[in-house]
């Protein structure tokens, strides 16, 4: 297998972008990544696009070809493939691009992630997100997406004594980080009191425990590591890539509080990178709900099972903590355009490893991890990045 490097990154503003269309957003992210990579565009062998539900959100399927078209590649006829794995669609697209270069099939690949969720109303958006759960055996009976994560939270509190305050501290931390990120949907810190007293959505999760509905796109250019120097001096290497799956329905899992797909994907990535969780300097994890970040830091091996809440309370995961988590603001504050999220996580870690994260720069960051989850944990993708 060949080594693969990230040579270009691009990210749009995340938020409620009423004046921008689906195609404008992805073309903007792709153009930024190409400019950043120092390539002309002609070198690109293939394209992968992550989108969860463009059909339901903007009424447009067949977006692999569409994105190649609006990005100006229609005359080159490059293979362009759309990848779907609910909220992990972006991370899966990155992994497909990575595998295609590692295998020797391609030399340079562009990966995009996109979701435009505000073109439909709130009810419609919620129903579309619920399609990531088991429609016949969960959603049919009234289980909502926040409801599923609320049940994980309730059990986590019961088994390990995790508190509502610890959940709120995840949101407070991520908003503090998002306030330093110019691309974030919410560039505003929130108080612990505000987070704890927010409108109840699904007990124990309030509005401030939930990531928002967002529009946005992200893109990266991947390149075989041995030719990356031709294009850029600031490339970052992908040293591990892992993916895992689990039962679609939460109720069928081995353990309600553990995302075994995360454990599997993490182990696969650590093994390939020949490192342990201790070697990770910072991580972008899938905090679609505050409890999800607590489970993630446990399942990725940063802390023991059940100690995630305490770790947050002890400020281990803040920007100046021993393991900063979600320096971008995470899904909670940066925003969560679902198909874009997995790609945007790679953009953040790449910026950090290049030393370009400005006010949210983590000192001496050399190895970073991204963790992208689909549904309530049926799909997970993990990548480990290192300064080249």
Partner 1 sequence: MKSDVARFWRAIPQRYNLIGNQCGSCEKIFFPPREACPDCRRKSIGKMKDYKLNGKGKIVTYTIIHVGPEDFEKQIPYSIAIINLDEGPCITAQIVDCKPKDIKIDMKVESTFRKIQQDGHLGAIYYGYKFKPVEIKQ
Question: Interface residues with partner 1 (CB under 8 A)?
Answer: 123, 126-127, 130, 135-144, 146-147, 150-152, 154-155, 158, 199-205, 249-252, 256
Q: Which residues contact 296 (CB under 8 A, 6 or more apart)?
A: 259, 262, 285, 286, 287, 308, 371, 373
Minimal distance, residue 131 CB to partner 1, in Å: 11
Q: What share of the chain is helix, strand, coil (3-state, %, to 5)?
A: 40, 20, 40
Element (H, E) at 338: helix 338-354
Cis, bond preceding 204 (omega within 30 deg of 0): yes
CA 324 to chain centre: 16
In the bound state with partner 1, the residue whose beta carbon lies nearer, of 28 and 138, is: 138
In the bound state with partner 1, the residue whose beta carbon lies nearer, of 128 and 177, is: 128
In the bound state with partner 1, the residue whose beta carbon lies nearer, of 56 and 187, is: 56
Integer Cα distance of 125 and 113 in angstroms:
18
Pair 290, 332: CB distance under 8 Å: yes
In the bound state with partner 1, the residue whose beta carbon lies nearer, of 259 and 280, is: 259
Pair 372, 118: CB distance under 8 Å: no
- Strands 215-224 and 4-11 come out as antiparallel
From 87, 288, 295, 380, active-site residue: 87
- Strands 215-224 and 236-245 come out as unpaired
Say whether 87 is catalytic.
Answer: yes
Minimal distance, residue 175 CB to partner 1, in Å: 21
Minimal distance, residue 207 CB to partner 1, in Å: 8
From 156, 286, 336, 383, active-site residue: 336
In the bound state with partner 1, the residue whose beta carbon lies nearer, of 67 and 378, is: 378
Minimal distance, residue 145 CB to partner 1, in Å: 10
Three-state DSSP class for residue 270? helix
Integer Cα distance of 332 and 329 in angstroms:
7
In the bound state with partner 1, the residue whose beta carbon lies nearer, of 104 and 121, is: 121
Minimal distance, residue 120 CB to partner 1, in Å: 11
Minimal distance, residue 70 CB to partner 1, in Å: 29
Say whether 62 is catalytic.
Answer: no
Among residues 288, 248, 282, 310, the alpha carbon closest in space to that of 387 is found at 282
Among residues 311, 349, 280, 262, the alpha carbon closest in space to that of 88 is found at 262
Q: What one-character DSSP code corresponds to residue 13?
A: P
- Which residue numbers are catalytic? 87, 336
């Amino acid at each position: 297998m060949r080594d693969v490097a990230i040579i270009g990154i691009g990210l749009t503003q995340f938020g409620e972008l009423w004046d921008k269309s689906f195609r404008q957003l992805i073309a903007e992210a792709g153009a930024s990544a190409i400019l950043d990579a120092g390539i002309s565009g002609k070198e690109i062998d293939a394209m992968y696009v992550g989108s969860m539900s463009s059909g339901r959100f903007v009424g447009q399927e067949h977006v692999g070809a569409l994105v190649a078209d609006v990005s100006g590649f229609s005359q080159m006829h490059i293979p362009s493939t759309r990848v779907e794995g609910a909220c992990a669609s972006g991370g899966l697209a990155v992994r497909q691009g990575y595998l295609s270069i590692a295998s020797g099939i391609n030399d340079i690949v562009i990966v995009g992630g996109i979701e435009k969720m505000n073109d439909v109303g709130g009810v419609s958006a919620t129903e579309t997100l619920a399609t990531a759960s088991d429609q016949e055996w969960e959603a049919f009976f009234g289980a909502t997406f926040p409801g599923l994560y609320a049940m994980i939270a309730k059990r986590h509190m019961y088994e390990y004594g995790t508190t509502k305050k610890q959940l709120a501290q995840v949101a407070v931390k991520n908003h503090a980080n998002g306030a330093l990120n110019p691309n974030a949907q919410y560039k505003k810190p929130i108080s612990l009191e505000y987070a704890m007293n927010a409108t109840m959505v699904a007990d124990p999760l309030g509005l401030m425990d939930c990531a928002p509905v967002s529009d946005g796109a992200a893109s990266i250019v991947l390149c075989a590591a041995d030719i990356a120097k031709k294009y850029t001096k600031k490339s970052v290497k992908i040293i591990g890539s892992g993916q895992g799956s689990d039962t679609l329905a939460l109720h069928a899992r081995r353990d309600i509080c553990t995302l075994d797909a995360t454990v599997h994907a993490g182990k696969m990535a650590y093994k390939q990178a020949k490192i342990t969780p201790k070697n990770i300097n910072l991580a972008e994890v899938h905090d679609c709900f505050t409890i999800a970040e607590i489970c993630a830091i446990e399942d990725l091996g940063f802390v023991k099972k059940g100690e995630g809440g305490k770790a947050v309370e002890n400020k281990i995961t803040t920007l100046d903590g021993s393991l900063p988590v979600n320096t971008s603001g995470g899904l909670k504050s940066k925003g969560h355009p679902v198909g874009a999220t997995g790609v945007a996580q790679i953009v953040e870690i790449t910026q950090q490893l290049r030393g370009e994260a400005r006010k949210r720069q983590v000192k001496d960051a050399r190895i970073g991890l991204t963790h992208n989850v689909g549904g309530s944990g049926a799909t997970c993708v993990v990548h480990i990045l290192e300064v080249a």
